Structure 1
Amino acid sequence: MKALQFSKTGDLAALTVVERPTPTPAAGEVLVQVKAAGLNPSDVKNVLGRFPYTTLPRIPGRDFAGVVVEGPSALIGQAVWGTGKDLGFYRDGAHAGYLTLPTEGVARKPEALSFVQAASLGVPYTTAWDALQRTGVAAGTRLLVIGANGAVGSAAIALANVLGARVLAAVRRPEQARLLREQGVEVVVLEQPEALAGEVNAVFSAGAEVIFDTTGHWVPAAVPALAVFGRLAIIAAPLDGHVQLPALALYRKGGSVVGVNSLLYSSAECARMLNQFGQYFDQGLLPLPRDLQETPLVEGLLSYAQVNDGSSAKVVLIP
């Protein structure tokens, strides 16, 4: 089978197209023929050496959709999707024609999603779902999503709408705000950090019960916008890993900070999440992905470079 593989880290030049034998599943595993595989920024960072626990040589790729071709009889021929912390890091991932993983690491693909659409959603949607669940977002929750135009932010808004939350989006550019407003989303434009609390309170008079900062850059400004006993979820941080947290203001509000890291969850744990919210696609409650960039797997090296250069296109590799 064709696969992308790297044997050292630090440079995308280490990633090459190789010919590998089709893997053989062990006891308790399935063999999946990969129909489509998402390309996430973390896949690129993996090749660049940002994850010290990655073992080499390694086929990268966390998100996939495909068909089970070996495993329990009840699963053979089933369309499945998945993601997880193990794939691409300490077991071979999805940027190949086939992959093996634990039987419980696959979830039934929603019928409403094509293979390409399903492969584009794993990391963004499990990250957003984890953030909303761990911060207690439910019907009526006043939720602010910072960086709402990104993949995780968009997923958070879609899932929060299904849960019945009151959603306020925050983005940097007026054109991003315009697109969200056309979708019926209430929006504030991020300008001066000190103005954020006033803008949020103009919409949520008692502040936001939950703030999900998908950028990592608005944590200091977000704390004053929190409601009493509010929860602040974060998934990223500046390059040096440090922010100035106004701890006194957080303490006085009884607020809490929740770190959200999708790489804490195995493929089996992610499959349970996918099963929890995947039904919403078939019920017509979640939007179907659009504007996906399909690229042949053998041309994936260029796609890795584009993502590393900051491209916002959602790339799906096709073996």
Structure 2
Amino acid sequence: MTTKTTPPTPTGLQLLSLVKPEGVLEISLVSVPTPTPAADEVVVRIEATPINPSDIGLLFGAGDIRTAKLSGTASHPVVTMQIPPAAMKAMAGRLGQALPVGNEGAGVVVAAGSAPAAQALLGKTVATLGGAMYAQYRCVKAEQCLLLPEGTTPAEGASCFVNPLTALGMVETMRREGHTALVHTAAASNLGQMLNRICLKDGIGLVNIVRKPEQAALLKSQGAVHVCDASAPTFLEDLTQALVATGATLAFDATGGGKLTGQILGCMEAALNRTAKEYSRYGSTTHKQVYIYGGLDTGPTEFNRNFGMAWGMGGWLLFPFLQRIGPVAAQALRQRVADELKTTFASSYSKEISLTEALQPAEIAVYGQRATGTKYLLNPNKGLVLQPENIET
């Protein structure tokens, strides 16, 4: 069989993030040799990779994006940012290490090892999870690739893993911990819209918390039943009513800092007390749980203990969760993503940029805010002219 594809170039650009001892973050594009795949490996030409909040955390570290300065050349730009002295202690483990960035991505397999599983992917469009995706080429194990359905573009498959599996992981956590409905903050994000579609399809009660009226309108236009705007003067009462209606006792909070986590627990307690048959000075005996899975607000988490004694607050991350549930259950979640890639798990982006554009301070000022509606898609091979050749497979 002859497959038309483009072999990789000897070198390719890769984005690296470095913390220097003098309190400077340096982000640069460097030319690196394109790896030769081992027998069970493939080389993917990355054509789409999302800039997720988790990627931004590694990309910028504790750097202050307001201090971003551009230097270097047009093809190999360098951005530097100042790191506040108080934040340097948290960066101690990164000092002197130029770290690659990008959790997930998609593209075309342009070289493959000799193993049948690797050869079968040559010329195919795949998505992969494995870090270092902000690069023109990425060498990964064939088993790390998800073969995308026929007719799927790299842009459509770029966000196959982090957001879809996080949303499914929230629902699976709910089921495994004995809850029956969910609360989610930053609910108008790509992830939040996915979670809303999952819950509507699976018949799960979901309380969506947003920060702006237009975000509430967006979710309602997509069929969301319970949407609470944190900027509204009636927010706490609206949230309590939604919790009464759904019976949600589990929440996932993307903000982390501020008062929202405590407000959710307090409203859960108030909702439970409205249906309580007897008074208890220790509060409801129903366990209420909030998991913080993001840090959109980097300030302290503040709360007043007005929610009884049956409560929990903790952290939740996707990869430890997938390890806990085991490979069989994790694969079932991945298969659902593949089956519903263009529907339930479709992603949208506000802009597609190249590697060099990603280092422009004007672009950093937008995507670095991690604001809903400003999610960027990075195409490491954007602007390059590739000459296709025939390769025998």
Structure-1 residue corresponding to 2:375: 314
Corresponding residue for 2:263?
A: 221
User: For 2:106, which of 65, 76, 89 is the aligned residue?
Assistant: 65
Preserved contact between residue 223 and residue 250 of structure 1 (Cα < 8 Å) = no
Q: Residue 19 in 1 paired to residue 24 in 2?
A: no
Structure 2 Cα separation of the partners of residues 192 and 290 of structure 1 = 27
- Contact 1:35 1:115 survives alignment (8 Å): yes
Q: Structure 1: 5+ residue runs without aligned partners?
A: 88-92
Q: CA deviation at 1:317?
A: 1.6
Secondary structure at 1:205's aligned position in 2?
Answer: helix
Map 1:118-137 to 2 at 5 A.
118-136=157-175
Paired letter, 1:38: P
Could you tell me how far apart the structure 1 residues matched to 2:300 and 2:200 are? 31
Normalization by structure 1: what TM-score? 0.79
Tell me the residue number matched to 1:279: 338
The whole-number CA distance in structure 2 between the counterparts of 1:205 and 1:129 is 24
Distance 2:161 2:352 in 1: 16
User: Once the 2 structures are TM-superposed, how far is the Cα of residue 146 of structure 1 from its aligned partner?
Assistant: 1.9
Q: Say yes or no: does 1:157 pair with 2:217.
A: no
The alignment status of 1:260 with 2:270, answered yes or no, reads no
Distance between the aligned counterparts of 1:144 and 1:265, measured in 2? 18
Deviation of the 1:292 alpha carbon: 4.2
Q: How many residues align?
A: 307
Asked if 1 retains the 8 angstrom alpha-carbon contact of 2:117 and 2:142, the reply is no
Q: Secondary structure at the match of 2:156?
A: helix
Residues 60 and 152 of structure 1, relative CA distance in 2, 3 Å threshold: same
Greater gyration radius = 2
Change (3 A) 1:296 1:265: farther
When the two chains are superposed, the root-mean-square deviation of aligned CA atoms in Å is 3.6
Distance in 1 of aligned mates of 2:233 and 2:292? 17
Sequence identity of aligned pairs in percent? 24
TM-score (norm 2): 0.66
- 1:244 maps to 303
Distance 1:102 1:241 in 2: 40
CA distance in structure 1 between the partners assigned to 2:333 and 2:105 by the alignment? 12
2:128 to 68, 75, 82: 82
How has the CA–CA distance of structure 1 residues 99 and 44 changed in structure 2, closer, same or farther, with 3 Å as cutoff?
A: same
User: 1:234, 1:292 → 2: CA distance?
Assistant: 26
